[in-house]
Amino acid sequence: MSRLLVASLLTTSALLAPRAAAADNCSPARVMVVLDKSSSMVTGMVGADTKWDIARGGLGNLLDTYGTKAEFGLMTFPKPNQCGPGSLDVAPSLDNKTSIVNALGAPPPTSGNYTPMAQSLEAAAAEPSMQASRGPRHVVLITDGWQYCVPYDPQTRFDGTDAIAALNAKGITTWIVGFGAEVDAAALNQMALAAGTAKTGCDPTSEDPAAPNNCYFQVDNATELNQALSTIGGSVSAEICDGIDNDCDGLVDEDVTRSCSTACGAGTETCSAGTWGACDAPQPTTETCDGDDNDCDGEVDEDDSGLCSGEEVCTDGSCQPPNGEGESEGGMHAGCACDSSQAPGAGSFAMFGLLGALLLRRRRR
């Protein structure tokens, strides 16, 4: 083998090594979709489509965009019917769209499937594939109803919040999506609040699915469901500052920044190899006499010692002599060549007097 070929192979290996290492270190988020398969998902229509078909299409779109950036799995409830808690349909893995969409091929029956939402979230917390992993873990709940079994027990209405606590205890973050006007907004708001995924500025006391400021993701059609799932997908698959390739793109901690500030203004910190860099916001400096607030304490050229040399004082951004400095005893400003013993204008009066005397002598002649 020629030396040139050997050198070329070595160079190629060196170039490929970082990419292979990055792939080995890929540790994406693990996401379990917990989907309501109650009968109302097929009896409830949005236009010409059932909510089940819309949910199936929305999950397909989600996986088209984020299926290679996070490990997605699927649980549906109830299992096998009525009020049995949900169980695993598809284990989480990358590039899992075909398996998940195929698992959603059979719609729920038109009657007999209820909504054991809390029990299914508890099952997700105990699901072996959702136990400790290197990457972050998430559950995405999609439901169109209330916590409901037959006979209905109103005491169970807020059991979903307790189920969220079980997920929190496992380090699993839960996202709540309510589909349609028949959801229990009061319960879903409390669940989103407990999960730490409530929308900014939301009203956790709202009981109206049509309210504009619910804490969970309220969706009423395919477009809104796609938007909600895209927002969640972007959040769960985002690169974070941990020294790991979270989105499996061969890069580690790329473009990860966070806001920071000093007394002088706002800036950003940039992550590198799992560590946050210094804040690039303007830093306070020693106050100088220049008309600026150098030390960012809210005052400009304040009377700190050392702003000016000697007896000079800082005035209007420059060092100047103190008021009255340099005046002569006679009251004239230093540097004036006038005779301070002579009254102002005396020379002019003497000249006029001389001219007058000359004119008087001429007349007498």
For residues 97 and 72, what is the distance between their CA atoms, to the nearest angstrom? 8
* CATH T-level assignment (fold) for domain 25-236: Rossmann fold (3.40.50)
**Range list for CATH 3.40.50.410 in the chain:** 25-236
Give me the pLDDT at residue 325, please.
58
| pLDDT tens digit at each of 365 positions of the chain | 455 444 444 444 444 433 333 445 688 999 999 999 999 999 999 999 999 999 999 999 999 999 999 999 999 999 998 999 999 999 999 999 999 999 999 999 999 999 999 999 999 999 999 997 778 999 999 999 999 998 999 999 999 999 999 999 999 999 999 999 999 999 999 999 999 999 999 999 999 999 999 999 999 999 999 999 999 999 999 998 988 888 888 999 999 999 999 999 999 999 999 999 999 999 999 899 999 999 999 999 987 667 888 888 888 889 988 875 544 444 444 444 444 445 455 555 555 555 555 555 555 55
Say what the pTM is: 0.73
**Nearest Cα to Cα of residue 175 among 238, 130, 233:** 233
Give me the pLDDT at residue 12, please.
45
Q: Which long-range contacts (CB under 8 A, 24 or more apart) does 146-154 make?
A: 146/115, 146/117, 146/182, 146/183, 146/184, 146/187, 147/115, 147/116, 147/117, 147/118, 147/184, 147/187, 148/114, 148/115, 149/82, 149/83, 149/114, 149/115, 149/116, 150/82, 150/83, 150/114
Give me the pLDDT at residue 359, please.
57
